[in-house]
Structure 1
Amino acid sequence: MDLFGLLKTREWEPLDVSEVRVVARDLLVALNALKNAGVTHADIKPDNIVLVNHQSQPFRVKLIDFGVAMETHKLWRYDTIQVCGFRAPEVNLGLPLTEAVDMWAVACTLAYIFLGDHVHNTICEFNNMRQIFKLHGLPDQDLLGKGTKVDRFFIFDQSNQTWRFKTPQEYTETIIIDGDHHDIALDSIDDFLTINPEIQDPFELEDLQAFVDLLKKMFTVNPSERITPEEALNHRFITMSHLPPTSNNSYVISAYEKMKTADNKSNLFDLNLSDYDLSDSDLCELEDSNSDLSDLDTDEPVNTSELDVDKFQKADLSNFKQYDSELEAR
């Protein structure tokens, strides 16, 4: 079952923040391994994240479907990657692309399972970008000047030499669907802190604050400033450094138990290449048959023999040994 199916079976009841952490940790481990291997997944979304064994290891997940994955240094060849709603803004703006696009998609996924709904519009590119800039801020003017597709969404004001986001009336390249908006009214990611008034436990509130802080870093509009997988794995939301492991608080105990159960006493940081379905048949360049990715200029396949499989399997996660020990101790 994938994450979309999980929410559907729960009748769209969101995951609580301690459950989101289990998913986040596994996805960040996968991103760290991919970064070390020089690979970008390019299609991270709830449908491509499956539960390992929800009965014995609740919320433990793995990343699948590497059908459009590619070596990161070849991202520049493609005009469009990712689906609307999980697409990083730099893709729509025609900016240089890096593996940071995957981090953006993971952030969208984590927000989705926490809200039980999409945080950004998934239908109309204009509304999607408008919501992104409303929630996360506008790109720097210098950054906009480097984009090859910036004029799809922005107009350059000659009077003050700045880029201005278009109005719906000025945006005529794509039809804007009437009434196409997001059901959850958000003014900023900080609204996550108050969206569920039932959260009253001080430790859970602090945990939620840590989650929101991580999300903000993942949703940084400038890709060069976006948090990296290694940095995210060191963030307090993942390491749980803000939750005392010896506390008798019921939320804290439950949060540690969820992580421990998900690990099921396995080595949390011993990556196995097969866990991520990364094979010669699955790891390939984008194909013309992909309707969202039709502007290809080459059919050259990824040379998987050039990938550093050893780095992929042995991602440097030594900084988390203490955390692993704390899980075993509980």
Structure 2
Amino acid sequence: MTENGGADPEALAGRFSQMFAALGQNIERVVRGKREKVELALVCLLAEGHLLVEDVPGVGKTTLARALSASVEAQWARIQFTPDLLPSDITGVSIYNQGTNGFEFHAGPIFVNLAVADEINRGSPKTQSALLEVMEERRVTVEGTPHPVPRPFMVIATQNPVDMDGTYPLPEAQLDRFLMRISMGYPDHEAEVALLAGAPTGAMLDRLPPVMGREDLARMIDFAQRLHVAPPLYDYVVRVVAATRDHPDLRLGASPRASVALLRAARVRAAAAGRSYIVPEDVKVLAAPVIAHRLIVTPEAELRGRTGSEVVGEVLANVPTPQAAGV
């Protein structure tokens, strides 16, 4: 995107929509039959949030992360989480230099625009916690000295279901730092046949061209967060999030961070649709991916098979939607 220079917001939103579609089409050259998941991943990227992709092995979690990274002409790195991975393997270390008679900071792989944390829940809790500061504050503090990461910055984490062998559940504080959680799911029959008939995924990823530079990406992020929000929609977002805090099936509702994340994501979805303003539908579509992973269901509700996504759906059904005239 170019600088607005007083341009019509609707025209800029149309340009945003075109670039969003181009990114999606590029990723779908590799990730087949998952348009909804691809669009959610792009919304997360352009909302300047972090994405958690959870599902069983072999359904394309890492492929989605790599394709998203390859589609943007920016620095990226893949960090493979294992039980013996150390926090310093992610953030970096200070090493004494005899020549200068001082310590020099050697940055870890987290100092990129897009960091792919593969199988994050196979790392120990201590290693997982190394991401807490950088995901929230976009900096790493080593021996009392802060080191900022580049902008834009995004962590794309993949994880296997928590009941699989060798996994450590992510703590609530870390889950709350992910703007969105999605599940890939198995491809449909036609998409799986096309996958078998096409070129190997690895070879296609290596040839996937970037369709956008980091400056364009930063401008899209800035534009989306300037989109108009009518006062009734601020109220609606807060009511939806607050309703989870008093729900009888939850022992932990969503924090104010969830309200901020939902609004940021809704702005991106509106711009992707070519609008310069958000509508209630933007909030409704994104509520479950943004809120559900932040909720903790009570043991009694869990025994009945209740999930965070179901609770979010119930909340949306009960919270009055602002009328078009008020928006």
User: TM-score under structure 1 normalisation?
Assistant: 0.26
Decide which structure has greater strand share: 2
User: TM-score under structure 2 normalisation?
Assistant: 0.26
